[in-house]
Amino acid sequence: MMDLQYRLQDARMQRMFGLVREFVQRCGPLCPVNLAPWLRFVSPRWSGFAAVRDHRDALMTLFDELLDEHRAKAAGGGEGSDADLVTRYLAEHKGDRAAELNLVFILMDLFIAGSETTASSLSWALLFMVREAEVQRRVQRELDAVVGRHRLPSLEHQAR
């Protein structure tokens, strides 16, 4: 999306993943404001609304910072590739504050939708493999045959 790669240990990435994880834990399906949205007016804190808002604001600040850095790089002539979403979007909506705010929401949507879902699917898959040794052996055999033990899996392995 931004032609950026981060290491998992990166402090900002850790903070972003931490915020999403905490958000999912605290604002899940049983959170009162998800069952009855009007509760936000009765008790913003107890209903969970304040937590949703605080997490949204904290994540927005981080994405704002990322966009500012992206703009600064672009101004210095070192912007990302033309193919990345943010570079193309900013070029098409130059100076349009509403469109830029919309971009922050698009980035947040994709980050939230794509991070905790993938992490928890992988955690469940690993848990089932701990319980089902035969399945674990079959997965290991397939990994050894298709990827090998000395490189990471990539999209090119998907078709095999």
Q: Which two tokens stand for residue 77?
A: 């002539």
Contact criterion met (CB below 8 Å) for 103 and 113: no
**From the CB of 114, what's the least distance to ligand HEM, in Å?**
3
Q: Which is nearer to ligand HEM, 44 or 89 (CB)?
A: 89
Q: Binding residue for ligand HEM (CB under 6 A) from 28, 37, 114, 148?
A: 114
Residue linked to tokens 């007016």: 41
Contact criterion met (CB below 8 Å) for 80 and 87: yes
Contact criterion met (CB below 8 Å) for 140 and 153: no
**From the CB of 118, what's the least distance to ligand HEM, in Å?**
4
Q: Binding residue for ligand HEM (CB under 6 A) from 43, 118, 123, 140?
A: 118
Stretch that binds ligand HEM, among 7-15, 38-46, 87-95, 115-123 (CB under 6 A): 115-123
H or E element, residue 86? helix 85-92
What is the rounded CA–CA span in Å between residue 94 and residue 100?
9
Tell me: does residue 113 bind ligand HEM (CB under 6 A).
yes
Contact letters for ligand HEM, residues 93-112 (x by CB under 6 A): ----------------xx--
**From the CB of 116, what's the least distance to ligand HEM, in Å?**
9
DSSP state of 95: T
- The answer for residues whose C-beta is within 8 angstroms of residue 59's C-beta and 6 or more apart is 16, 19, 20, 23, 108, 111, 112
Contact letters for ligand HEM, residues 125-154 (x by CB under 6 A): ------------------------------
Q: Which residues bind ligand HEM (CB under 6 A)?
A: 109-110, 113-114, 117-118, 121
